[in-house]
Structure formats: structure tokens, C-alpha cells
Structure 1
Amino acid sequence: MLQLVDFVVRNRFFLVFVLLEVLSVWLIVRSNTYWGATYFNTSNYYVAKTLAFSNSAREYTKLDEINSDLANENARLHALVTALNQKKPVDAPAGYIPDSVFASRFTYTVAKVVDNETNKTNNVLTIDKGTAHGIKPGMGVISATGVVGKVRFCSENYSVITSILHSQFMVSSKLVRSKEIGYAKWQGKDPNLVDMIDVSKYTKIFKGDSAVTSDQNSVFPPGIMVGRVETVTVNPNQTFYNIVLRLATDFRNLSYVYVVQNQQLGEQENLKLRTVETR
């Protein structure tokens, strides 16, 4: 308190000057229409700027919550689109009516990426969902833009995903325009590019064509983007194209993913196992 009094005493002339200045400005604004209007407009401008900055700061602090809400909404939309596509496939013959349970067999769980690798030969990533959230090894993982990988290991609250940027990972893919089916496989070099193998050179391939997941896999829903055709070459001594795809998923900026559960996967795998045993 004594320090405050001492400060006022030492600066009394300056404080009186400031008070008189404020009083003078107030009197001018009150008695002069022009300066009153100018003051009103100026104060409104700065108040609006301050409020805008405050709102921006408040929105920035809520970005994680907003992103989480968007990811949940995307998961719901993914499930809806997949079910609609399966209920009425574009290339289905006349009279084909798929079972409703089959059409809605895929469900999605949103997860956040907590660790990610892109510069190794065999890359993996870690998500913040595990067995406590219904995640199991073998489930597919996608992003908002395309294929990511497959669940490899799970703990109660975390899962390790084998990325598509892994030398031992392949996903059955189909070229949209030519309808040709092959396998997308990473060669361990550029994290933006993968090869598409086993595509016959006797079919016309278009540069820029989309490669999506095919119907011939039980892990991913059909029609999920894998990438776009970057280059197409052919060796006269080979029967297959050398196709390079630019990945749809940007692994360096991956934040949220969707774990895909095929609720009929166990039934499909059991049938395959029985087929192998009876051969």
C-alpha cells in the first residue's frame, strides 16, 4: 500500500495530466457531433477486432474437439455410403438383390494416430484404440482419403497398424476405368508411391485412373481409394504392366483413421479354412 501511495506522489503531475487529457477528450466527444460520431465508429471497429480475435483464439483451443466430431461424422457417413453401395452395386446383373445383412456388414471405429512411421522399409503406426474398444488383429484401417493398412497387434487401449508402406502388405485393388484387378504393393522407396502389380498388359490402362479396393477382399469395403495411376510402362518380355500409383493417403499428415470391422469376416474365413482342409 505504501508503495502505491509513493508511486502516486512521485508521478502526481503526470497522472493529473492524463486525467485532464481524458476529460478533454470526453468533453469534445460529448459536445461535438463530428468527433462523437468518429469516436463511436472507431471504438466499434476496435471492439469488433478484439471480439474477432477472441473468437478465433477460442475456436483454436477447440480444434481437437472439432476434428474429433468431424471424424465421428465421417465414420457414420462411411458406413452409410458402404451400405448403399452394397445394396445396389453398379455392375450387378439385373435381378440381383444382396442380403441386407451382407450390405451392412462393415462398421467403423474412429481412432487417433499417436505414432507414425514413413521412412523405413516396414512402417507401422499406432492408434489410441485397442481391445477395450472392440479392435482386433486383422481389421482394415482407412483414412478420410484412402487405405491406410491393417491391424497387427492390440493391447487394451492401443493398436499397432501394418501400414500400406510395408514391404509385406498388399491390398487387392481395381482400376475404375479399365476394371482390371491387381495388387497394390510398396517397394520401400517413396512414401507417396506404390506399385500396382499383376495387371495384364493386354488391357488399356489410363494415366490418372483411380485405383480402389476391389470386391475380392474381406478386410476393406469395396471402392475405398488406394491411389491414382502416376506412370504406366511395359516390358516387351513381360505379360504385366509396371504401374505406379500415387497414394490417396498423405501418411506424413495422418491424424485420424477409421478401423473397419467386417462383421461376417469370421464366417468367411471359416469357410475358406474348410475349403483348404477338404482339398
Structure 2
Amino acid sequence: MSQLFGILYRIRHFFMFLFLQIACFYLISKNSVYWDVTFFNTTNTAVAKSLKISQNVRKFMNLGKVNDQLAAENKKLREELSKSHELVALKEIGYKPDSMMAGRFNFLVAKVISSTENLTDNYITLDKGTKDGIKPGMGVICPQGIVGQVMSCNENFSRVSSILHSNFQVSSEILGKKLRKEEVTALGIGKWGGTNPRIMELTTVDRFKPVSKGDSVVTSMQNSIFPPKIMIGRISKISASPSEAFFDINVRLSTDFSSLVYVYVVNNKLIDKQSQVEAKPVN
């Protein structure tokens, strides 16, 4: 304690100088209108900047909560959009589905905790597992498009085989002005080529179909794990030789795997019943 008092005694002149400086500024501001206004404006500016910094810090701290809320809201919108696509697509062929068929897909929000994109077979790890209702075989999408399929999971985590995998295939449909005008459907199989993480190959598309560069490629109605009309990407290249029956098509993927944060795990509530029917032997 005596050492502390000794230090304060040795710097007593500094405290005296500081006190006199504050007193001088006070007297100047009170006896001069110009300095009073200047001091007032300077103080207000400093306070305003401090409040702005404090507000920005609070916003940054709340970003995680805001993102969680947005992901939950998007989940609800996804379910409504999926149901709408089912109804519209089936009405076009004159079939009226029941409510169970139209609303068979629901979604679970999950967060990506690790992923790869430069391997031959790429995987993604999610922070949700069986206790959250996730099962192997479920599809996975994100706000930009399709992501992959759940391969395995435990109580707390799930491993997803992304579309950047040598064994992944997805039934796809091309949407374009010429196709709509001629009322033609163009279906194909999407498969990653194994090199560019932004390009997928689209095969088995009839080369007499009126498809064009820039047309959208989405999931088709012939998917059991993905809802219809989920974005896959856009056609970036089309070619075909006269001797071939199908186009060679490159699709630029809409999903950027380097920036995945939130995904939606797709649950087809009728998948078990569909599998039972498909597994029955044909007499």
C-alpha cells in the first residue's frame, strides 16, 4: 500500500496538470459561445460514434440468432412451395392429387460443420442426427439448390454424400422458353464428372428436344427423395454428334459448396409405402 501511495506522490504533478487542463476547457467553454458550441458538437459526435459502434457490435452478436430464425422461416416456405409445385405439376396432366400426396415432403433445418469439394467422392457433415428425425436415404437441399443425400447418421450427426460424388445421380428436368412453347418435357440424369466442383453432366436428353444454353435444370417429378422443381443449375454447354441420340450437356451448378452453412434435410413421409409397393414382385 505504501508503494502505491509512493507512485501516486511521484506523479502528483501529472494529476495537477490534468486537473488544470480540464478546468481550463470548462472555463473556456462556459465563457465563450463559440467554444461552448464547438465543445457541445464534439461531445455529441463522440457519443454518436460510440452508440453506433455499440449498435453494430450488438447486431453482429445477434447474427447467429437472426440466421437461425431465417432458416426456420425458409423451412416453412419450402414446405409450402413444394406442395404448390406438386399441385401445379399434376394439374397440368389433368390429375387431382389428395392432400397427403401433395404435402408429402417436410424439412428439417441443419447446419454444416465440415465438408469437402475437391475429392473424387465428397461428403458433408451435419450437426443433426437420428434424435432429430434424420435417417439414411433422406435428400438434402439448400437455399440455392440440391446438396446430396444422407448416407449414415448417429444420434447427433449425419454424413451426407454430396452431389459431388462419383455414385450420385439425380433425375432432372430442363425448363426453357422453347420447351414451354412447344409443350415438351425434357428429362435427363444428372451426374458429376469428377473434376470441376461447379459443373455437372446431364445425360439421356433426347437431342431433338428444343433445349438451349441458359435453360434451367431442376429436379423432376420422378424423384423420391427430392421435391420437384428444386434448382440444380443452368445449362452452360450443349453438344451432340449426328450419330448420337442424346445431347452432351454441361450444367453449371447453382449450389456453391464452399459457402454452405444451413441446409434442409428432406423427409418424404410416403417413402416407406412407395418402397413397399416397388419391392413387391410382379406376377
Instruction: Tell me the TM-score normalised to structure 2 length.
Output: 0.93
The 8 Å contact of residues 87 and 100 in structure 1, kept in 2 or not, is answered as no
The 8 Å contact of residues 88 and 97 in structure 1, kept in 2 or not, is answered as no
Choose the corresponding residue for 1:278, options 261, 279, 282: 282
Gaps of 5+ in 2: 180-184
Equivalent residue, structure 2, for 1:245: 251
Equivalent residue, structure 1, for 2:20: 20
Aligned residue runs from structure 1 range 24-103, under 5 A? 24-89=24-89, 92-94=92-94, 96-103=95-102
How far apart are 1:88 and its partner, in Å? 3.4
How far apart are 1:84 and its partner, in Å? 2.3
Equivalents in 2 of 1:218, 1:137: separation in Å? 13
Deviation readout 1:93-134 (Å, 9 max, x if unpaired):
45x322111111110000011110111111111111111011
Choose the corresponding residue for 1:190, options 196, 214, 236: 196
Deviation readout 1:243-276 (Å, 9 max, x if unpaired):
10111110011111100001011111111111xx
- SS in structure 2 opposite 1:204? coil
Equivalents in 2 of 1:208, 1:6: separation in Å? 80
- SS in structure 2 opposite 1:110? strand
The 8 Å contact of residues 234 and 241 in structure 1, kept in 2 or not, is answered as yes
Q: Which amino acid counterpart does residue 98 of structure 1 have in structure 2?
A: P
Equivalents in 2 of 1:188, 1:93: separation in Å? 37
Q: Which amino acid counterpart does residue 239 of structure 1 have in structure 2?
A: A
Equivalents in 2 of 1:127, 1:54: separation in Å? 34
Matched, 1:181 2:173: no
Q: CA separation of 1:273/1:84 partners in 2, compared to 1, >3 Å: closer, same or farther?
A: same
How far apart are 1:72 and its partner, in Å? 1.2
Equivalent residue, structure 2, for 1:151: 150
In the TM superposition, structure 1's runs of 4+ consecutive aligned residues that sit over 4 Å from their partners are none
The 8 Å contact of residues 90 and 97 in structure 2, kept in 1 or not, is answered as no
- SS in structure 2 opposite 1:203? coil
- SS in structure 2 opposite 1:97? coil
Matched, 1:140 2:144: no
Aligned residue runs from structure 1 range 98-109, under 5 A? 98-109=97-108
Equivalents in 1 of 2:202, 2:24: separation in Å? 79
- SS in structure 1 opposite 2:249? strand
How far apart are 1:39 and its partner, in Å? 1.4
Choose the corresponding residue for 1:255, options 236, 250, 261: 261
- SS in structure 1 opposite 2:131? helix
Equivalents in 2 of 1:107, 1:66: separation in Å? 22
The 8 Å contact of residues 152 and 158 in structure 2, kept in 1 or not, is answered as yes
How far apart are 1:4 and its partner, in Å? 3.0
Equivalent residue, structure 2, for 1:123: 122
Provide the aligned C-alpha RMSD in A: 1.5
Q: Which amino acid counterpart does residue 155 of structure 1 have in structure 2?
A: N
Q: Name whichever of 162-171 and 6-15 sits farther off.
A: 6-15
Gaps of 5+ in 1: none
Q: Which amino acid counterpart does residue 233 of structure 1 have in structure 2?
A: S
Q: Which amino acid counterpart does residue 71 of structure 1 have in structure 2?
A: A
Q: Which amino acid counterpart does residue 39 of structure 2 have in structure 1?
A: Y
- Count of matched residue positions in the alignment of Structure 1 and Structure 2: 276
The 8 Å contact of residues 233 and 243 in structure 1, kept in 2 or not, is answered as yes
